[in-house]
Amino acid sequence: MISIYDYLVVIAYFILMIAVGIVFKRMNKNTSDYFRGGGSMLWWLVGATTFMSFISAVTYTGAAGKAYETGTFVFVVYMANGVGFFISYLYFSKRFRQTRVVTAIEVVRERFGKVNEQFFTWMVVPFGVIHGGVWLYSLGIIISTVFGVSMEMTVLSVGLTVLIISLLGGSWAVVASDFMQLMIMVPVAFVMAFLSLREIGGVGNFIEQLPTSQYNWSELTDSKIVWLWFIASFFKQFFSVNNTNDGYRFLAVKDSEQARKASLMASILFFTITFIWFIPPMVASIMFPDLSAIESLKPLGDKAVDGIYLAMGIELLPVGMIGVMICAIFAATMSSMDSTLNRNAGIFVRNFYKPILRKSASEKELFRVSLITTVFLGGFVILSAIFFSELEGINLFDINMRLGAMISLPFMIPLTWGIIFQDTPRWAGWSTVLLGMLVSYIIQTHIGPETLLDLIGVAKPWSKRELIDVMFFSNVFAVIIICSLWFLGTRLFKKTSPEEYHKDVEDFFVKINTPVDYEKENGHKGYDQQQFKILGNMCLIYGSFLTSLVLIPNDLVGRLCFVFIGGIMLSVGIIFKKKYTKSKK
């Protein structure tokens, strides 16, 4: 299934990622550098990590399986991300940067007070571990299938690798590695899409042979469910993208305008790359209508659909490029995991350890505790992934969506509206979250999908797909509507909080509406040259390696695939080196 050349590619990738951590380690002088790069990063770096942190191995497993079964239906979530980031470009991203803090929960403290700071700290960190476990388990499915080892061993080895890379260089290494990973993922996606379409005779044959259910969603389920799921996805992703907790990425960017550029970059990537990503699993629905006929998927048993992207890679990619695809899938999960580890460690250290446990802690002590915390959180993520691997019959795409709707969404709402609306009491934040979780609990345990399907008039018999989808969008609508009304309604009781609190909130809003002048506020021009130099050199080195793989015995098309992937990375490296040379003059 995998050749010596593929192993060589994977090993070279790991060496590159570790090198990124080592190179950027020297740029971490304090916790601000370790957790947000000192707020000195350029827009293209932050734009890359912003996009990558919303992509994980679920994209290649659960979401690809969804594309195999339902076609264009899966595009909705990724298009919704694109819309969310475009709204961020218009309003939110620059305001997140203008908070001028190190962690997202510091924004919570300044906006809602110290009680909310602790409440949201202990909401974000544990649930981040759960999400990290889902991402790592998704990656484990792919890696264990390719290398033929147990899921537990896969999760442990991959988790430790991600932990080590995250530990080495902090946010600088996290963001730089995300950029390098993007440079691998996107070209691989184009190669996979090209080879898939070539296999069935081109775009025309693809459109002609594609099952009508792949684009006529009413064949999949009742049209009411389709449109309600569609609308719910857009609303959910709006809050997922534009809440204070997930806006932490923009804390690292250099200034207000570059924050907007980073958000626009992420939006454009979601609108364009998504279509390319899901062509291979949709082609697979034509080539392999019966998954049991695919030999490489048999180890996955009843979870075979989650391995369809891998199966297409094994079927179509030239020798050596399966390793590149594995690197791309690994990159997807690593970008989500390392960002989560780094963010959550920052939240624990700066929003709990320092204000509660050690108010007099020095920067040196905080930095040391940051490393220890990263190790512990990484261990918990690994244990979480092992737990998910023991569950039978779970669908990765659905569990990811339901976790977002049930757990994440309730605390996203006050963290989004809190950046827009000023005159709320200090208890508005935590009370909205608790209400949202109560609403989710009632819907999941006391109402049930059958009651909801009856309510919206969907005729029996109900499919498993309909039972799952109605729970998702019902939860989303109920939480968003009820929590938004509650949060906005608390404005009527703003006088229940002391005047000092409202004065602090007023100062906070003045700050987030004041553009960042990096040079004036920091006393220097930043590290623009270093970013172009280091990333340019890495692109040239790894691009040269990928281009050299043209020497692997393959047909002409296979060799040209390596030229394409390596050539893109080399081109970016040359552009960056020219930028660096020009900036020195």
Q: What's residue 417's pLDDT? A: 96
Question: Is the pLDDT confidence value at 538 over 60?
Answer: yes
* 304 within domain boundaries: yes
Peptide bond before 461: cis, by omega within 30 degrees of 0? yes
Q: What is the C-alpha separation between 576 and 580, in angstroms, rounded?
A: 6
Q: What average pLDDT does range 43-67 have in this prediction?
A: 83
Q: What's residue 215's pLDDT? A: 78
Q: What's residue 583's pLDDT? A: 67
Q: What's residue 142's pLDDT? A: 67
Q: What's residue 396's pLDDT? A: 54
Question: For residues 337 and 224, which has the higher predicted lDDT (pLDDT)?
Answer: 224
**Distant-in-sequence, close-in-space partners of 293: CB < 8 Å, separation ≥ 6:** none
Q: For 526, left (φ over 0), alpha (ψ -120 to 50), or beta?
A: left
Question: Is the pLDDT confidence value at 404 over 80?
Answer: no
Q: What average pLDDT does range 56-77 have in this prediction?
A: 80
* 467 within domain boundaries: no
Q: Which residues pair with 253 in a beta bridge?
A: 41
Question: Is the pLDDT confidence value at 318 over 60?
Answer: yes
* 558 within domain boundaries: no
With cut-offs at 50, 70 and 90, classify the pLDDT of residue 391. low
With cut-offs at 50, 70 and 90, classify the pLDDT of residue 210. confident
Q: What average pLDDT does range 548-570 have in this prediction?
A: 93
User: Percent of the chain beyond pLDDT 90?
Assistant: 33
* 499 within domain boundaries: no
Q: What's residue 16's pLDDT? A: 81
* 469 within domain boundaries: no
* 442 within domain boundaries: no
CATH number where 181 lies: 1.20.1730.10
Q: What's residue 49's pLDDT? A: 86
With cut-offs at 50, 70 and 90, classify the pLDDT of residue 449. confident
With cut-offs at 50, 70 and 90, classify the pLDDT of residue 531. confident
Quick one: tokens of 146?
């390719």
Question: Is the pLDDT confidence value at 223 over 90?
Answer: no
Question: Is the pLDDT confidence value at 9 over 80?
Answer: yes
Structural domain span for residue 351: 4-389
Q: What is the C-alpha separation between 72 and 217, in angstroms, rounded?
A: 8
- What confidence tens digit (pLDDT) does each residue in 100-131 have? 998 889 999 999 999 999 999 988 888 878 77
Q: What average pLDDT does range 441-446 have in this prediction?
A: 83
Q: What is the C-alpha separation between 567 and 539, in angstroms, rounded?
A: 10
Q: What's residue 567's pLDDT? A: 94
Question: Is the pLDDT confidence value at 395 over 60?
Answer: no
The full length of the chain comes to 585
- What confidence tens digit (pLDDT) does each residue in 275-308 have? 898 899 999 989 888 887 777 777 667 677 878 8
Q: What average pLDDT does range 240-251 have in this prediction?
A: 89
Q: What is the C-alpha separation between 344 and 35, in angstroms, rounded?
A: 9
Query: Which of 169-173, 210-214, 564-568 is modeled with the greatest confidence?
Result: 564-568
Place of tokens 């389709």: 226
Question: For residues 487 and 249, which has the higher predicted lDDT (pLDDT)?
Answer: 487
With cut-offs at 50, 70 and 90, classify the pLDDT of residue 170. confident
Place of tokens 């264009």: 72
With cut-offs at 50, 70 and 90, classify the pLDDT of residue 393. low
* 470 within domain boundaries: no
Contact 277, 450 (CB under 8 A): no
Question: Mean pLDDT across the chain, nearest whole number?
Answer: 85
* 497 within domain boundaries: no
Q: Number of folded domains in the chain?
A: 1
Q: What's residue 397's pLDDT? A: 52
Q: What's residue 57's pLDDT? A: 66
